[in-house]
Amino acid sequence: MLAIVKFESGVRPGFFNTKDEENSFSPDRKNKLPKLDANKKPYWQQPLARYSYQFGIIPIHTSIFRPCLGATQAARLRFDTLAKQQGFAPTTDQWASIRPDFDEVCQKAQRPVRDEPRAVDYVILNSHSKFGVPKDSVGGDTIDHINAFPLYWPRVTTPFFFLAILMQKDKVTDDNSALCIWGGGDQSYCKENKQSQIFGPWNSFSCPVRAAR
């Protein structure tokens, strides 16, 4: 599990996929520049694109929290519970401040379900304006507001990071099967070359033996 963490975040408590050229929330435009929509806004100005970021030393991808989708409701509620346990609970005025962006994101859901703004939406939609995540920039070790931003907190992100493995633990027979399950829809995590790349540092790790006195 430590090998996966190292591979995904580089053991940096940072922000990732925040550069327009890396953000892939719109697959038809992936790896094409400039990454602009019809009204020529850069991705960091598009609320939906903020649901394609990754944060934290135990990293979490914000797509699992996208609002108004049936498949994300359990994760959204779970984040509310974890964040509240850590003392993070937006006020009524703070809910209201994100309503326009929230509604814009929901309008782009293909099969929307009824939903309301939650703590995770306040965090994601305000990642630039309130929490200091740089616009159109890569992640790093220097982070503003690290203590105020729940998506930087391992105590909040860890349960989500390993959730797929926990949910399918009966299918885990070894490290490779665990990694394949963790990868979800990305089948590259089931391939030998990628698994070797991820597990390489762990498999080659050695602890020096101190000579007996």
The first and second tokens of residue 167, run together, are: 């949910």
The first and second tokens of residue 125, run together, are: 């939609």
Instruction: Give the pairing type, strands 60-61 and 15-16.
Output: unpaired
Hey, is 117 helix, strand or coil?
coil
Q: What is the pLDDT of residue 54?
A: 87
| CA angle (150, 155, 161) in 5-degree steps | 90
Hey, is 166 helix, strand or coil?
helix
Contact assessment for residue 59 and residue 161, using Cβ atoms and an 8 Å cutoff: yes
pLDDT tens digit at each of 213 positions of the chain: 888 888 887 777 777 777 777 776 654 444 444 444 455 678 888 899 899 888 888 888 898 999 999 989 999 999 999 888 888 888 889 989 999 999 999 999 989 999 999 999 999 999 988 888 888 777 665 566 677 888 888 888 888 888 888 888 899 999 999 999 888 778 999 999 999 999 988 888 755 555 555
Amino acid occupying residue 33: L
Q: What is the dihedral of CA 109, 42, 124, 127, to 10 degrees?
A: -170
* Cα distances (Å, whole numbers) of residue 179 to 58, 65, 110, 126, 191: 15, 22, 30, 32, 10
- What distance in Å separates the CA atoms of residue 122 and residue 199, rounded to the nearest whole number? 35
The first and second tokens of residue 26, run together, are: 């719109």
pTM of the model: 0.78
- What distance in Å separates the CA atoms of residue 111 and residue 69, rounded to the nearest whole number? 7
- Around Cβ 15, how many Cβ atoms within 10 Å? 26
